[in-house]
C-alpha cells in the first residue's frame, strides 16, 4: 500500500469502523510525521502505521511513531526480532506480516501480538513459496496461538467470511482500497486497477524480492530480460530506483511498477473508503446468514 495509504485513507477507514493503516514505506521520516499528525486530527478512532523494514531511516521512523503516541504498528519485510521488543516497551501493539508458517512461528517467538498471514494472491511484495491464502491461513492457524489476520485476495464480505471459516480472526484488505477516493495513488493507476481482469497481474522478480504487479511495458521488459538470461545485477539495473513511485504515484502506466493483488479482477469501481467498508460488512453479514441456512 505504499503511495496509496496516507492519512486521508487511513483516517477514512478508521472513521468507517476499520483499522486504518498509514503505509510508511514510501514516506521519508518527516513526511510520516505529517501524515500521523493529520490522521490524529482527522479521526479519534484507533489507527496504525505499517512499516516495511526494507526502507532506509527505520530508526527515525520508529522514533517518530513512538514520539507521536501511535498505538499500533504493523511491521513487514524484515525480521520481527529487530523492533518488536522496543515497540512493546513503549506500549505499542505489534503485528507482523508473514507469508509462511515458518515466518509466523518466528514472529510469534519474537513476541508480536498478532500476525498477518498474506497469501500468493496479494499485491506488491510477496512470499517466495507461492502459498495461496486458502492453504496459508489454516496452516498458520494450526501452529500459532496468537490472533491471526488473513490477507491476500480479500476484497469482499464473502472472502472475509471464507478466511474466517479457515481460522482467521480478522482480515487485512489492501488492493480494494487503492481504488478508493481517499487513496493517494495516481488516478491513472486507480483506473488501471478497475480495468484489470483475470490474469492481468503476475508475481515476478523473485531473484530480488518477489512482487506482484500489473503486466505493463515494465513487466514485459522484465520478461524479456529473463528470456535473455539476465543476471541478478542486470535485473537490479533494469528495476532501477523509485519504479513504484513512478507508476503508482506519478502515473506512468508503461514504465512504472504497478503493484496490486489478483483481486483487482473483482474491483470494478472507485468508491469512498467508507462505502467500501460498509459494503464489505453488509456482504459479510448476508453471506454468514445465508450459510447458516445451509
Interacting residues toward ligand NDP by CB under 6 A = 2, 26-28, 54-57, 205, 208-209, 211, 239, 241-245, 257
Question: Contact 23/50 with Cβ under 8 angstroms?
Answer: yes
β-pairing verdict for 47-52 and 20-23: parallel
The closest residue (CB) to ligand NDP is: 208
Minimum distance, C-beta of residue 236 to ligand NDP, in the bound complex (Å): 7
Q: Tell me the closest approach of the beta carbon of residue 91 to ligand NDP, in angstroms.
A: 25
Pick 157 or 174: Cβ nearer ligand NDP: 174
SS (H, E, C) 256-288: CCCECCHHHHHCCCCECHHHHHHHHHHHHHHHH
Name the residue nearer to ligand NDP (CB basis): 211 or 263.
211
Q: Between 28 and 281, name the residue whose CB sits nearer to ligand NDP.
A: 28
Instruction: Name the minimum Å distance from CB 27 to ligand NDP.
Output: 6
Provide, rounded to whole angstroms, the least separation between the CB of residue 25 and ligand NDP: 6
Helix (H, G, I), strand (E, B) or coil at 61: helix
- Residue with smaller CB distance to ligand NDP, 44 or 130: 130
With b for 16 or more beta-carbon neighbours within 10 A and e for fewer, the 99-124 pattern comes to bbbebbebbbebebbbbbbbbbbbbb
- Phi, then psi, of 40 in degrees rounded to 5: -65, -35
Residue 92 CB, nearest approach to ligand NDP (Å)? 21
Nearer to ligand NDP, 24 or 150 (CB): 24
Cell numbers at residue 89, please?
A: 516497551
Of the candidates 159, 139, 145, the one whose C-alpha atom is nearest the C-alpha of residue 262 is 159
Amino acid at each position: 500500500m505504499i503511495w496509496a495509504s496516507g492519512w486521508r485513507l487511513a483516517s477514512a477507514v478508521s472513521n468507517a469502523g476499520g483499522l486504518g493503516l498509514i503505509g510508511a514505506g514510501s514516506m521519508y521520516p518527516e513526511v510520516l510525521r505529517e501524515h500521523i499528525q493529520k490522521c490524529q486530527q482527522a479521526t479519534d478512532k484507533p489507527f496504525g502505521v505499517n512499516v516495511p523494514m526494507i526502507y532506509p531511516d527505520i530508526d527515525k521512523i520508529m522514533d517518530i511513531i513512538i514520539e507521536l503516541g501511535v498505538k499500533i504498528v504493523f511491521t513487514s519485510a524484515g525480521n520481527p526480532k529487530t523492533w518488536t521488543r522496543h515497540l512493546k516497551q513503549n506500549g505499542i501493539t505489534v503485528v507482523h506480516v508473514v507469508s509462511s508458517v515458518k515466518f509466523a512461528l518466528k514472529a510469534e517467538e519474537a513476541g508480536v501480538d498478532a500476525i498477518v498471514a498474506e497469501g500468493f494472491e496479494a499485491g506488491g511484495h510477496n512470499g517466495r513459496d507461492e502459498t495461496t491464502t486458502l492453504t496459508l491461513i489454516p496452516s498458520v492457524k494450526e501452529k500459532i496461538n496468537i490472533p491471526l489476520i488473513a490477507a491476500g485476495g480479500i476484497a469482499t464480505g464473502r472472502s472475509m467470511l471464507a478466511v474466517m471459516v479457515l481460522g482467521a480472526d480478522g482480515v487485512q484488505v489492501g488492493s480494494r482500497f487503492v481504488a478508493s477516493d481517499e487513496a493517494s495513488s495516481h488516478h491513472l493507476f486507480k483506473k488501471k486497477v478497475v480495468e484489470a481482469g483475470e490474469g492481468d497481474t503476475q508475481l515476478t522478480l523473485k531473484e530480488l524480492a518477489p512482487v506482484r504487479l500489473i503486466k505493463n511495458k515494465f513487466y514485459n521488459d522484465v520478461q524479456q530480460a529473463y528470456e535473455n538470461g539476465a543476471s541478478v545485477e542486470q535485473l537490479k539495473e533494469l528495476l532501477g530506483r523509485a519504479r513504484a513511485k513512478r507508476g503508482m504515484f506519478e502515473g506512468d502506466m508503461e514504465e512504472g511498477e504497478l503493484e496490486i493483488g489478483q483481486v483487482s479482477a473483482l474491483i470494478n469501481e472507485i468508491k469512498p473508503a467508507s462505502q467500501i467498508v460498509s459494503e464489505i460488512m453488509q456482504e459479510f453479514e448476508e453471506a454468514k446468514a445465508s450459510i447458516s441456512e445451509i
